[in-house]
Amino acid sequence: MLSLKSIDLKKVKTETLIIPVCEDRDIHDDKTVSSLITKAKKLKEFKGDKGEEIVFYTPPEIKAGRVIFMGLGKLEKLNAESLRAFAGKAVKKCINMKLTEVLIGCPSAKKIKMEMPLPLEAIIEGAYLGNHLFDKYKEEKKHSSLKNISFLVKPDVAKSSGKILKSITTICEGTIFARDLINTPSNDKKPEQFTKIITDTAKKENLRVKIFDEKELKRKKFGAMLAVAAGSESKPRMIVLEYNPKGAKKTVALVGKGVTFDSGGINLKPTGSLEEMKSDMSGAAAVAATLIALAKLKPKTKVIGIIPVVENMPSGNASRPGDIVKSYSGKTVEILNTDAEGRLILIDAISYVIKQYKPQILIDIATLTGACVIALGEKIAGVFSSDDELAQSIISSGEKTHERCWHMPLPDDYKEDLKSDFADFKNIAGSRWGGAITAALFLSEFVGDTRWAHIDIAGPSYMKKGNAYCGVGGTGFGVRLFCDLLEKL
Ligand code: BES
Ligand code: MG
Ligand code: ZN
């Protein structure tokens, strides 16, 4: 449970109070908090430097079991991301101390001079996300999430920020939903199961849900997608989620790559980090979680989520290099590498959503290429779009949510590389250089003149090491970004 509180610390009992402290400036409105800080700073061992911590037990001035001071460093270095990290770290510390609840003394927006997002928003986000751990598969549970997290704010803020608290909670819940899906092992999220988890939740939120099974996919001629699914015992699915508010003027389509496991197929991937390919459905998770969140946030735009779900496996039935398939669009593709499967399922989903829903804007999100990770590293996603305005909106939502994106080029002349000797296209370019770009260009051949952007999240969708507000594994990248973007569009 998360709540905003404006209480007199001298009168109201609290188990644990956490106070973030700047090294060079007082950032708090609450006078009691400020005087506690002055007292803490009189000690040699605490100055508010970044990372410093000190605990006062049962301080005489207030009715708290303990006060934990946490250093943030200099004010000029402070930003939304460092506040998220502070809050995540604060919650983790309380969990490690076996506590069950905490009150976080929130700094004043005015004194920090932060607007988008407000310091309070960043702190709520960090605390909510930091409170969660994926331990479903551990018989011996060591983590016990805090039951109550409260935020100490001024009375007017407590009154006016209820809505913000609710919307952040909803968006973070979505992020956790996506993280849990990504962390779920592939033996427990085969396409049919994966589809059920998503659609059961979507139905509860009153989204309109359609599921195409293999028979339907064959009837509708989703040839590229079926070619990827062919090698697996588990049959493919296409999920359509519709959020359709009254009076909507615009339709946005979100397409998410849902490969529940990417072995590479006949072009089998080598041992190394094959197990991480359980995360090859991170785009799908982001789209599903976003739609589920939107059902509660209720923005005015109509949003369609399209999720092709397959498992990419080698077998006697699997597609072979050299196979030629006819995609939903009617264009043919020569599959020269079965490991370039993401683009095959995406083009069918993209063609279908354009034909069926005629969206004004189409954004796909996918763990598409290792090349994008080479280009931008593990923390930044690549945005590909010839629509600068759309790309810029995505990038600025990414800045606000710290789901960082970088605008990548779509050079026309690189398209040459995708021409096949035997079919309309081949699914990989002749050279491996610029692989993230040629993958995006391949998709671009199927979007027509719809305003379109592609986000390659192969890097930031998964973390080998956790951070202050995300555990090891799926990050849920895209959910917070999309929720912010769709509010704007
Ligand atoms: N799912 C992978 C991309 C990926 C790589 C995601 C690393 C996350 C981390 C994708 O299906 C793939 O295998 N891409 C190939 C494309 C190549 C065959 C042109 C790649 O990146 O090697
Ligand atoms: Mg692959
Ligand atoms: Zn893949």
Q: Which atom of ligand 1 is nearest to the CA of 371?
A: 21
Query: Above 90 in pLDDT, residue 116?
Result: no
* Token pair listed for 421: 């000797």
Per-position b or e across 86-123, b if 16+ CB within 10 A of its CB:
bbbbbbbbbbeeebeebbbbbbbbeebebeebbbbbbb
For ligand 1, the distance from its centroid to the CA atom of residue 369, given in whole angstroms, is: 4
Cβ of 371 below 6 Å from ligand 1:
yes
* Token pair listed for 455: 């986000």
Is 164 a domain residue?
no
Closest ligand to the CA of 308: 3
Query: Above 90 in pLDDT, residue 462?
Result: yes
Q: Mark whether 177 and 130 lie in a shared domain.
A: no
Q: Count of domains in the chain?
A: 2
Q: Mark whether 246 and 99 lie in a shared domain.
A: no
pLDDT at 402: 98
CA distance 460 to 382: 10
Q: Mark whether 226 and 136 lie in a shared domain.
A: no
CA distance 221 to 444: 20
Tell me the per-residue pLDDT of 13-42, one tens digit each, with 9 for 90 and over: 999 999 999 999 999 999 999 999 999 999
| Residue tagged 């009076």 (tokens) | 247
| pLDDT bucket at 58, cuts 50 / 70 / 90 | very high
Residues marked active site are found at 269, 343
Question: E strands along 23-113, which residues?
Answer: 53-57, 64-73, 101-105
Query: CATH number of the domain that 281 lies in?
Result: 3.40.630.10
Cβ of 321 below 6 Å from ligand 1:
no
Q: State the first-to-last Cα distance of the chain, in angstroms, to the nearest integer.
A: 31
Tell me the per-residue pLDDT of 64-94, one tens digit each, with 9 for 90 and over: 999 999 999 999 999 999 999 999 999 999 9
CA distance 444 to 118: 37
Is 163 a domain residue?
no
* 3 state DSSP class of 171: helix
Of residues 210, 207, 364, the one with CA closest to residue 298: 207
Question: Looking at the chain, how many residues does it have?
Answer: 489
Strand partners for 252? 303, 361
Q: Mark whether 370 and 415 lie in a shared domain.
A: yes
Cβ of 263 below 6 Å from ligand 1:
no
CA distance 358 to 251: 8
* 3 state DSSP class of 21: strand
Is 353 a domain residue?
yes
Tell me the per-residue pLDDT of 310-336, one tens digit each, with 9 for 90 and over: 999 999 999 999 999 999 999 999 999
pLDDT at 253: 99
* Token pair listed for 304: 């369609």
Average pLDDT on 339-363 reads 98
* Mean per-residue pLDDT over the chain, rounded: 97
Q: Mark whether 144 and 176 lie in a shared domain.
A: no
Query: Above 90 in pLDDT, residue 257?
Result: yes
Q: Which atom of ligand 1 is nearest to the CA of 262?
A: 1
Q: Mark whether 152 and 229 lie in a shared domain.
A: no
Q: Which residues surround ligand 3, an ion (CB under 5 A)?
A: 259, 262, 280, 342
Mutate to test the pocket of ligand 1, among 369, 374, 456 (most ligand atoms within 8 A of CB): 369
Is 196 a domain residue?
yes
Q: Which atom of ligand 1 is nearest to the CA of 368?
A: 3
3-state secondary structure 29-68: CCHHHHHHHHHHHCCCCCCCCCCCEEEEECCCCCCEEEEE
Q: Which atom of ligand 1 is nearest to the CA of 342?
A: 11
Closest ligand to the CA of 439: 1
Is 166 a domain residue?
no
Strand partners for 454? 364, 384
For ligand 3, the distance from its centroid to the CA atom of residue 281, given in whole angstroms, is: 8
pLDDT at 114: 87
Of residues 249, 472, 238, 234, the one with CA closest to residue 360: 249
Q: Which domain holds residue 336?
A: 171-488
Cβ of 435 below 6 Å from ligand 1:
yes
| pLDDT bucket at 115, cuts 50 / 70 / 90 | confident
Last residue of a domain, one of 112, 132, 157: 157
Q: Mark whether 117 and 177 lie in a shared domain.
A: no
For ligand 2, the distance from its centroid to the CA atom of residue 368, given in whole angstroms, is: 8
Q: Mark whether 290 and 232 lie in a shared domain.
A: yes
Cβ of 265 below 6 Å from ligand 1:
no
Is 14 a domain residue?
yes
Is 292 a domain residue?
yes
Last residue of a domain, one of 157, 185, 218: 157
Q: Mark whether 228 and 274 lie in a shared domain.
A: yes
Cβ of 456 below 6 Å from ligand 1:
no
DSSP 8-state assignment for residue 205: T
Last residue of a domain, one of 126, 157, 188: 157
Torsion of CA 218, 222, 223, 226, to 10 degrees: -70
Q: Mark whether 139 and 177 lie in a shared domain.
A: no
Closest ligand to the CA of 369: 1
Tell me the per-residue pLDDT of 178-237, one tens digit each, with 9 for 90 and over: 999 999 999 999 999 999 999 999 999 999 999 999 999 999 999 999 999 999 999 999
Torsion of CA 51, 57, 59, 64, to 10 degrees: 90
DSSP 8-state assignment for residue 328: T
Q: Mark whether 314 and 453 lie in a shared domain.
A: yes
Average pLDDT on 375-391 reads 98
Is 165 a domain residue?
no
Q: Mark whether 123 and 236 lie in a shared domain.
A: no
Cβ of 403 below 6 Å from ligand 1:
no
Query: CATH number of the domain that 133 lies in?
Result: 3.40.220.10
